Amino acid sequence: MEKLIITGPTPLKGEVEINGAKNAAVAILPATLLINGVCTINNLPNISDVQILCKILEKMGAKITWNSSNEITIDTRNINTTQAPLDLTSKFRASYYLIGAMLGRAGKIEVGMPGGCKLGARPIDQHIKGFELLGASVEVRNGAISAKANCLKGNSIYMDVVSVGATINIMLAAVLAKGTTVIDNAAKEPHIVDVANFLNTMGADIRGAGTDVIKINGVEKLHGDCTYSVVPDQIEAGTFMLAAIASKGDLLIKNCITKHLECITAKILEIGGNVEDYGDSIRVWYTKRPNKAIIKTLPYPGFPTDLQPQMGVVLSTANGTSIINESIWESRFQYTDELNKMGAKITAQGKSAVFEGVDELFGAPVYSTDLRAGAALIVAGVSANGVTEVYNLQHIDRGYENIEEKFRKIGANIQRVKE
Ligand code: EPU
């Protein structure tokens, strides 16, 4: 078992480079199954979710060559099974994208029931509804999902909830379907646009991604022989923006799309932080104790649930009492118990939490309960007085590449040690 040992407080200062987006990469990799050919993907984050997906694709017959630590060439001409390895697919969430992609490619697939962070109920009814409206039959049995279709046909699909996963999955299944599919009440996250851009680069005809109506005109086939670069990770960028404020630092965050960060920028300005926007990089710095705030997480372009714990760290030491309402995941406040061990005064109940701002946090042993909780605890450890030990790093490694190295480069006293 590994843990991080962080000695704080350290004001984080300097420059940090953002990697490609995890939640785009984990959809683009399965999307390569729709191409019967070769393509190169760069700006791929080298994180454990990506490594597991590559293993799954290889087990299904794909040939993957790592050209560098952030670029692969993938050849999907010899996919030889419609059975994805159940043990690996049930390890993480995004394995559900294999369903949409393989329905499109082969009309059949079996995958393990998707796992991922324990954030409360994570139903996939909207994915299934979409596949069925395109003509597939879907069965969930013994911890696995099987789906099959003789011929997928375009349809109008209204999403009852705004779902990132279901929007992308239906888009994947619809790309090679006959006729036109319209997804209404679609999610609008930057990674949805990125997956659509990837598919369009390969010959798909998807319009409207980034709005709440996406139209997919089915095409005969996709071609390979393309290179695609994954969009920068807005959640990683936001994590460092909030780390700059929490640690009383000054960071230049490079390789990001600042348009995707507007809701975070707005909140940082509202609590009294400073932001300078350069389009593809952003400087964030602290000058005074943050003001209290009221935050509600919402689908994009609202404040992202995936930055809620990191914002929680900032509000733990804000001037006054803040409230966060979490509208996406019912169990996303598990990190507050850990912050309370560090001296925070947070009362979480259901989907709301009240943060009474304290003067400072103190180091403590803490456990990451999910990916973003883990990132938040690192931010807390850097900002707190004394030594913090962060456990359960497997959650953090799922979504952040070289996290301790990035924090060390901007001044954190942080080490990964084996127990
Ligand atoms: N929902 C349903 N039915 C469905 C699908 C979703 O009721 O069929 C509900 C969920 O229970 C949730 C809401 O709709 O309340 C939104 O869920 P969504 O489908 O958008 O989430 P997801 O696709 O499972 C992705 C990210 C999450 C991120 C959410 C919200 C990936 C692999 N995961 O999850 O990322 O929190 O969107 O933005 O893209 C993370 O990166 O730490 C992470 C958890």
CA of 417 to the centre of ligand 1 (A): 32
User: Which contacts (CB < 8 Å, 24+ apart) does range 271-280 have?
Assistant: 271/245, 271/314, 271/315, 271/318, 273/244, 273/245, 275/241, 280/254, 280/255, 280/256
- Closest atom of ligand 1 to CA, residue 328: 15
Query: What average pLDDT score do residues 340-349 get?
Result: 98
Q: Which listed residue (39, 54, 117, 256) is catalytic?
A: 117
- Which pLDDT score is estimated for 117? 65
Token pair 């300097």 is found at 14
State percent of the chain over pLDDT 90: 92
* Tokens read off for 145: 């999902």
Q: Which of 164, 306, 310, 368 to mutate to test the pocket of ligand 1 (most atoms within 8 A of CB)?
A: 164
**CA 182 – CA 389 distance, rounded (Å):** 49
Task: Return the H-helix or E-strand segment holding 283.
Answer: strand 281-285
Residue 229's contacts (CB-CB under 8 Å, 6 or more residues apart) are 20, 41, 42, 43
- Closest atom of ligand 1 to CA, residue 330: 15
CA of 371 to the centre of ligand 1 (A): 13
- Which pLDDT score is estimated for 116? 64
Lowest mean pLDDT among 73-77, 88-92, 223-227: 88-92
Token pair 């019967």 is found at 36
Atom 35, ligand 1: which residue's CA is nearest?
306
Regarding the beta carbon of 159 and ligand 1, being less than 6 Å apart is answered no
Q: Quick one: CA torsion of 306, 310, 316, 317, rounded to 10 degrees?
A: -150
Our answer to whether residue 117 is catalytic in this structure is yes
Atom 27, ligand 1: which residue's CA is nearest?
306
Task: Return the H-helix or E-strand segment holding 232.
Answer: none
Query: What average pLDDT score do residues 179-205 get?
Result: 98
Query: What average pLDDT score do residues 378-405 get?
Result: 96
- Which pLDDT score is estimated for 229? 98
CA of 122 to the centre of ligand 1 (A): 7
pLDDT digits (tens, 9 = 90+) for 89-110: 887 888 999 999 999 999 999 9
**CA 120 – CA 37 distance, rounded (Å):** 38
Mean pLDDT across the chain, nearest whole number? 96
Query: What average pLDDT score do residues 246-261 get?
Result: 98
Query: What average pLDDT score do residues 147-167 get?
Result: 97
Regarding the beta carbon of 308 and ligand 1, being less than 6 Å apart is answered no
